Amino acid sequence: MAGGMFEALSDRFEAIFTRLRGKGRLSQADVDEALREVRLALLQADVNLLVVRGIVARLREQLAGSELSQSLTPGQQVVKAVHEELVRALGGQALRVTYAPRPPTVVLLAGLQGAGKTTVAAKLGRWFKQQGRNPLLVGADLQRPAAVEQLRVLGGQVNLPVFSEPSDPVTVAKKGLAEAVRVGRDVLIVDTAGRLHIDEQMMAEVREISSTIEPHYTFLVLDAMTGQDAVATAEAFHKALELDAVVLTKVDGDARGGAALSVKEVVGRPIAFVSTGERAEDFELFHPDRMAGRILGMGDVLTLIDRAEQAMKKEEAERAVAKLAEGRFTLDDFLSQLQAVKKMGPLSGLVGMLPMVPKEVRNAQLDDSMFKPVEAIINSMTPAERAEPAIINGSRRARIAAGSGTSVQEVNDLLERFKQVQAYMRQVPALAGMARRASKPGKKAAPRRKKRR
């Protein structure tokens, strides 16, 4: 996400804060100039004008001269204030999905054509499955040719059943709910038809589906690339449907981030999930505090830990942590960690989650091909060499280089890097524990069946 949405905004904030940190004390003129730049940065990121005005007004109030002058680090005080405002604008806390006392918990997906509803249906189904649930997907988009077939293919990829039939959308949704009850599925996700633009026929259809199945959650799927148009779309759907939250798609693309920073304040509904790529696993619960940290270059260690836990089997992770705690981290472990990292998503996205990463590294073209020479070198070593790299002398290095199709210098570089990683990895269990303790539980949203007028 760091390489797509908010990239330009991050760069602008980085420049503003670098100048502020270079000053021991900030005058009111310094603050006024910083706020002007913050305002311009937000407007250029396509954030709604009223939202920008609100953010800047609250920042001005927080950074009142007397309070700021008493701060030992006024530059950091400004960063803290901007972080708090971004968290507030992005929704405050993560949505905590809860479940109906009498299953299934019904989720209705709405949105315009092209926003990615059908893909989100499968990704959301996979997410619920990871929470220990048994979802059923319902293909009620009978408007777009092959929409149901697309859902069946995507459902197959995440091992989830799909219900549909050649009828009318309302009947399909109603029968899908009955089918979920019959076969004991505890989550029902209903994909509905969209059009290129909002029209009364589409709204009438989705309203009728909603009044028939009375969903506990109604999620609007929005394309982050459409900027302010996305916010206008959200307003229109909310009037018709009473939304619970938004699912933002295509945030890995060249989106400026305005929709994410505007939708909560304008529509009054939070972002629940974000789709960060094309793969089924590129989908996550949206955490406003984590996203604000990433925008301001503070990284996102908690999401990195979440991804790592998903990429590694529980037993593997427990073995790895035990080894780290005892200081026993070998090249075999290093190789298995690299392979786990490859499962966690594109390397460029992971780098954006690391704190204090320089802009040039964050924006560099990084890909998994960088791992290939490392894997080849480690695979060319004997088990004894992988367990105890200290025994690798000059002749062994030459043999390893020849066997891996690399140079002796590359072997030397890897061994040197491994030494540094080994020292760092001894600190990882403590760092992970600290990060977990620092995280706060999300806001609990009790599900309810919504009667429609």
In-domain check, residue 49: yes
pLDDT digits (tens, 9 = 90+) for 32-79: 888 999 999 888 888 888 889 999 999 988 887 555 555 556 677 788
Q: Where residue 94 falls among pLDDT bands split at 50, 70, 90?
A: confident
Same domain, 331 and 393: yes
Look at the chain and report how many structural domains it folds into: 3
Same domain, 379 and 431: yes
In-domain check, residue 404: yes
- Domain that residue 426 falls in: 302-438
Average pLDDT on 125-134 reads 94
Distance between CA 389 and CA 35 in Å, rounded? 53
Question: Which tokens is 430 given?
Answer: 């403590």
In-domain check, residue 236: yes
Same domain, 153 and 102: yes
Helix residue ranges per DSSP H, 159-281: 169-183, 200-213, 228-241, 258-267
Lowest mean pLDDT among 234-243, 290-299, 317-326, 344-353: 344-353
Helix residue ranges per DSSP H, 352-427: 359-362, 371-379, 383-387, 394-404, 408-425
Distance between CA 226 and CA 444 in Å, rounded? 30
- Whose CA is closest to 307, among 279, 274, 331, 283? 283
pLDDT digits (tens, 9 = 90+) for 337-351: 666 666 655 545 555
Highest mean pLDDT among 210-214, 250-254, 386-390: 210-214
The last residue of one of the domains, among 40, 62, 89, is 89
Same domain, 241 and 317: no
Same domain, 111 and 85: no
Whether pLDDT at 383 is above 60: yes
Number of H helices, E strands in the chain: 22, 10
Lowest mean pLDDT among 21-30, 208-217, 381-390: 21-30
pLDDT value at residue 217: 95
Average pLDDT on 366-381 reads 78
Same domain, 218 and 310: no
pLDDT value at residue 48: 86
257 phi-psi bin (left φ>0, alpha ψ -120 to 50, beta other) = left
The last residue of one of the domains, among 24, 57, 89, is 89
Same domain, 333 and 219: no
Distance between CA 354 and CA 299 in Å, rounded? 5
In-domain check, residue 392: yes
Same domain, 253 and 361: no
In-domain check, residue 444: no
Same domain, 263 and 334: no
Same domain, 74 and 127: no
